[in-house]
Amino acid sequence: MTEQTAPDADPEHVPGSGAAGRPAEATATGPAGGAAPGRPPTTATRTVAARTIAVGAARAEEARSAVLTARRLAVAIARQPYWERPGSTWVVRRWPDLTGCLAATFFFWLSLTPSLVPRPWYYQGAIGGITAAIGYGLGALAAWLFRLLSPWQPSERVRARCWLAYLLLLPLAVAYMLGRSADMQRELRRLQDLPPTLTWHSLMIALISLAVLALLLLAARAVRLGTRWLNRLLNRFVPWPVAVALGLAMSTTIVVIGTRDVVWDRGILGIADRLAAAKDRSTDPGVMRPYSPMLSGSPDSLISWEDLGNKGRTFTGSAISREEIAGFTGAEALDPIRAYVGRAAYDDYADGAELAVRELERTNAFDREVLAVTGTTGTGWVNPTTVEALEFMHGGDTAVVTLQYSYLPSWASFMVDRNEAGLATEALFDAVHARWEQEPEDERPTLLVFGESLAVSAVESAFDDLDDMVARTDGALMIGPPDFSPIHSELTAERDPGSPVWRPVYDDGRHVRFAQFPESDLRLPEGQVWEEPRIVYLQNASDPVVWWSPDLLFKRPEWLNEPLGPDVTSSIDWFPFVTFWQTTVDMAVSYGAPAPHGHRYGSNPVDAWAAIAPPEGWTPTDTERLGRLLELRHPPKHGWAG
């Protein structure tokens, strides 16, 4: 018999198995979970497929909804890309004025133009925001006057299109402005031997400017809101026109008094005074009380160490010794005399000047080869490079005397006691000169005067004019003279025709010469005899302290005329308001450039003293050696010196 296989023995009918021993579920659905070829889908397969289709449909619906929402939003923005207050009863107008925004953008661009010295990105951001706020205020005022006076007003459609164009073009315009500004700053930094700026600086400038602008606008809106509230309050008691007039007058008075008395006098100046007073009582690290009788503050001195003030203690406590001088000259030297009368040591300037003369007499200063009278900056600072150059050059056979009139920083001193610097220095020089004249004429020391920055104005105030300075001194060195210095202003205004304001020639250089690069500039004008006494003005063409003036607000300065100074970029230009703000900020950062740029003069006083009062046998090689030594002794530091 032929053996027959029972149906139950067929492998295809074995429960729980499929072809080739695969599980039934895998056989039915296939490797991807779908129905196996030739077999109907299972219930699970149909469920998964339906769920996939539903999810896809939902996502497609969400995408269509998002597209429609974005389209409706774009259409709404295109029709009205600004917020409109619902009614005139709303006091706060939240959307900015378009004309004001255009003016702010333009003024922001002007603020990015280069000035005398490169500005750090954070300062540039601040000045950009302030300048943009000024532009916004002017633009908003112009728009308000137009709406008030013009019978024609732009339609909503025109206004919407203008706003839309502004919003679309603004990012591109700002990117272009920042790029151009970076290029101009790189040129300026190259002229002044500084490394180029970094790319991220431009982004930070934009963000800081926007933040400053927003803060200033919020402050202005707050004043406007307060004025409106005050007008409504007054209208309860008086007619509306009277209420408006009274409200504006009261609001203006509150803002002016609050800004001047509270923010400025009690705020900024008050804080500066407290900080400066604390600084004046302190002593800088490394400064020790001297024990040489030739120095003020020593046990033999008429002025106590405590009464010298911070800068006075630094002036005498860091004085060079005869051993240091001899190490440079290779010959015997003397301990130099430094007489410093601190502000705490006297009551009035006449008493201070008399005390200074007695201190000079105590040290036998009138027997020295050189006697120099100097003014101080606001804090009482005297540039050690200028003093040490004179002391090294003359083998320590020198005496330098000064009188502190304030402990405030120079900017604060300029604001509150500008005339005091001149009065103090005039009293000092007159007293020293009167005592100097008592010496036999052939035995008197060489009488010199010098000053730096604000001290230049103080020293010049001691003389009637240039002729008086020439008649009463044996030479003078003025470094970084401010624009308001009386004699400097006269010399610049009456300079010889054809000489630029940044390198003027006065009276063919007979007594006075100006220099940024002394080695070459002090020879100008070529072929002219330089008579004694000699007066040297060291002034850099890029020094904002020399060129800052309130006139910059509305008047183009001469230092922007061709030819420009050697370290002034050709991209510079003058704009009302803007150039004033830029130069004001430049003064704060004028120590950021290396000498001889900005307000840094490095070792140039060595060349100047070598031209004014050189000792016998002094050579150009000696000048070069001393310049290198002082550059090593006093490396440049960031910050404001006085």
Contact 580, 562 (CB under 8 A): no
Helix residue ranges, H only, 258-321? 270-281, 309-317
Q: Is the pLDDT of residue 262 over 80?
A: no
Sheet with strand 475-479: strands edge to edge: 337-341, 398-403, 370-374, 446-452, 475-479, 534-538, 512-515
What pLDDT does residue 151 have?
A: 87
What pLDDT does residue 470 have?
A: 97
Instruction: List the single range of 5-9, 60-64, 153-157, 221-225 with lowest mean pLDDT.
Output: 5-9
**213-233 tens-digit pLDDT:** 999 999 888 888 888 888 888
Give residue 97's pLDDT band: very low, low, confident or very high (50, 70, 90): confident
For 151, half-sphere exposure in the C-beta direction (CA atoms, 13 angstrom radius) is: 0
Block residue for tokens 């006697």 = 371
What pLDDT does residue 635 have?
A: 87
Stretch 556-573: mean pLDDT, rounded? Answer: 94
Q: Is the pLDDT of residue 543 over 90?
A: yes
What pLDDT does residue 39 have?
A: 57
Which residue, 325, 270, 453, is CA-closest to 378?
A: 453
How far is the C-alpha of 596 from the C-alpha of 191, rounded, in Å? 11
What pLDDT does residue 299 have?
A: 97
Stretch 424-433: mean pLDDT, rounded? Answer: 97
Q: Is the pLDDT of residue 249 over 50?
A: yes
Q: What percent of the chain lies above the pLDDT cut of 70?
A: 89
Stretch 31-40: mean pLDDT, rounded? Answer: 48
What pLDDT does residue 93 have?
A: 59
Handedness of CA 301, 364, 388, 460 (dihedral sign): positive
**380-395 tens-digit pLDDT:** 999 999 999 999 999 9
What pLDDT does residue 77 have?
A: 67
For 287, half-sphere exposure in the C-beta direction (CA atoms, 13 angstrom radius) is: 20
Which residue, 428, 487, 482, 435, is CA-closest to 454?
A: 482
Q: Is the pLDDT of residue 9 over 60?
A: no
For residue 337, the cross-strand partners are 399
How far is the C-alpha of 453 from the C-alpha of 27, rounded, in Å? 96
**506-541 tens-digit pLDDT:** 999 999 999 999 999 999 898 899 999 999 999 999
**Which residue did the predictor score with more confidence, 389 or 26?**
389
Give residue 60's pLDDT band: very low, low, confident or very high (50, 70, 90): confident
**439-450 tens-digit pLDDT:** 999 999 999 999
Give residue 58's pLDDT band: very low, low, confident or very high (50, 70, 90): confident
